[in-house]
Amino acid sequence: MKTLTLKDGTEIFYKDFGSGQPIFFHHGWPLSSDDWDAQIMYFLERGYRVIAHDRRGHGRSTQTAVGNDMDTFASDVNELVEHLDLKNTIHVGHSTGGGEAIRYAAKYGKGRVSKVVLIGAVTPYMIKNENNPKGVPIEVLDDIRNNTKNNRYQFFKELPIPFYGFNRDGAKLIEGLRDNWWRQGMMGGVKAQYDSVKAFSETDFTEDLKTVDVPVLVLHGDDDQIVPYEATALRSIELLQKGKIIIYPGLSHGMLTVNADIINKSILDFIKS
């Protein structure tokens, strides 16, 4: 088990396997680095160095009561990157982790980041308003907050159903995957998870997307019931200097796990391009 104690005393758990060009994975809410198992094994076997951390307040890292915001998340990543002296790194972020990855790349990544991959990412902005009519109504986010605060043990049993698209006709419920989502969620701290709803939904990543000058791959499923692709992916690609986008028909928010073969190949092709 590897941990890094940050300057504010927070302990960050991380995995660091292999050698070669580094790939740094940023997990989604309210999960942990374990959500990247399929990618860690795939890229490790292909000669890459793979790094994945548990964000503060999540997984095996310190259950923080403060600092649960996107600027701090990016700063934490920077401390870990500098500790490991990572260079020429591909940063891959899913959902909330996509926001963290692009904020890190924009603010700290010059000379260290070679490419970025955003998977079902919350960028540039999730909330529905007059400028983002396809976004998520604030009432939906308030409901997530309320359930996380008061009922997360049951809520974390229910949310994986739309997360992985198990509620669609013909979909087969994978109980182990649902249980693993619950396990990861319940490892984290309720205060950090509650605060992080605001961080992932109300942070505006417009300027981050505009600033990043390395190639960025945007991957999204058009049946994502958690982060609508029309409000995020289609808007992100318009802001990027060197962006490429793939929208997968019928795939869910959890496609990096249930469709790992498709997603891993897309990432590998992008890395090699």
Place of tokens 């790094």: 51
- Identify the three-state secondary structure at position 4: strand
Largest CA distance in the chain: 49
95 is a catalytic site residue: yes
Identified catalytic residue from 95, 201, 236, 252: 95
Strand intervals (E) in 207-252 = 216-221, 243-248
Burial of 273 (0-12, 13-18, 19+ CB in 10 A): exposed
Q: What CA–CA distances, in Å, run from 191 to 67, 251, 270?
A: 11, 31, 37
CB 38 within 8 A of CB 256: yes
Task: Report the relative pairing of strands 216-221 and 2-5 from DSSP bridges.
Answer: unpaired
253 is catalytic: yes
* CB distance 99 to 200 below 8 Å: yes
Considering the candidates 224, 236, 252, 266, report the single residue annotated as catalytic.
224
Displacement of CA 47 from its chain's centroid (Å):
23
- Please name which of 8, 58, 10 lies closest in space to residue 31, comparing C-alpha atoms: 58
Q: Is the separation of the CB atoms in 26 and 94 below 8 Å?
A: yes
Answer yes or no: are the C-beta atoms of 76 and 6 closer than 8 Å: yes
3-class secondary structure, 254? coil
Q: How are beta strands 49-53 and 11-17 bridged, if at all? A: antiparallel
Is 224 one of the catalytic residues? yes
- Of 26, 58, 91, 253, the catalytic one is 253
Show which residues are catalytic.
95, 224, 253
